[in-house]
Chain A
């Protein structure tokens, strides 16, 4: 039965995260961007919310609430409403934890999940993207070869959150590079493993609060039991779908932020003797932002809902991301337009959201829901 109402539990989580976003993320967003990191005390405050441990069953040390992609998009939208870079940074441990939770072997779950239920922020990540113009998530070039009781990984990855601080990496590699998603596997690599080389910090147009690195795998050898899901492997398409769904929900967060900021600015800014919001040229831009950011939200919800049901949601997740990429650039650009010259100045967040928003079309592989 069609229902656009989150459950009471989800509403409580939304309220909690919304408050957190308003009190902790938004006031610190500019500093984090300029200083190019998220201070540890902010990560600690996020960790206190227990959002990741919530989804982990009690037997692995978590709180044992239902694991739900819908709850995931509700959270990621709220966090991105504050700041996209900080949101991804805070949720980054789930890049490792959730695939292990959903697709790991019993041994892998027992070994790694309790580490995400402790008192301090657990740095862990996933490496999926690769640095080339023609990168496509369906064509992974990082290779994996089995040699006896070991796997050997070779390749270069980029856009790896917290690679410099992570203890655990989930490396996406292909046993048959060039043959599409067939043969794509995930491998657990621990920090300090020979052949895992963390490169320098990457510099991007936006998302500077988020520490991103290239990593290089040169004959990186890991035991066979580190293959995610063991003999059964893992469901790569589902990871891609969850990533696209997560990204579209965060795009919706940025776009709602842009619209809301534009609304309050336009009501206060007086020109020609009255607030500029009295002009249709301004008001209609804001109206269109409202339409598209809501549409984005529901596309993310629908994909997540299908994902929770265990249905194939490749199409819906792809649509959600396609849509979000198109409209986020447009909406954040208009956000600057509403503020005019002030939108271009770094005192206001519009220029930051515009730069961050441009990332959606480029990023893949952020399955943080």
Chain B
């Protein structure tokens, strides 16, 4: 292993260590925990709305669970990261569909929330530099919001009026994993800037 490789590995380990410490700090401080909870909740709602699982419904109050929900939970619906809803909750004007996407969305929302909480901590530390980078965490959450699909084709293409090519469709199938990778990368970028005392 060359010297530069060793330096790179050391830098990565340092960043990982600082991010771990910073993450623990997020959970120890009430203000950063509030940022985490707020951003996670808001992002989850936004994600569910973007994929059409939280939207205006037919009205009334209703709970429907499909037959044999566990076997259907893992069934893909409209694309590789779109899963079949197994329950429908209608509460007045709003209808919520529960699927594995809620679990995936919660995971992504947690990463976005953590990015926001770490950004908050960096902001609270006047000595920290590179504050501009800290916004990447929120930007990294955008691809997942665009991953919603209609019966055929991504919703965003319908909105923009763009014809779906094979390349575009493949690209849209990658949006969710890309978002996760970007959020993890961003977490490291921001986390390494937080200095945890003691």
Do A and B belong to a common assembly?
Answer: no
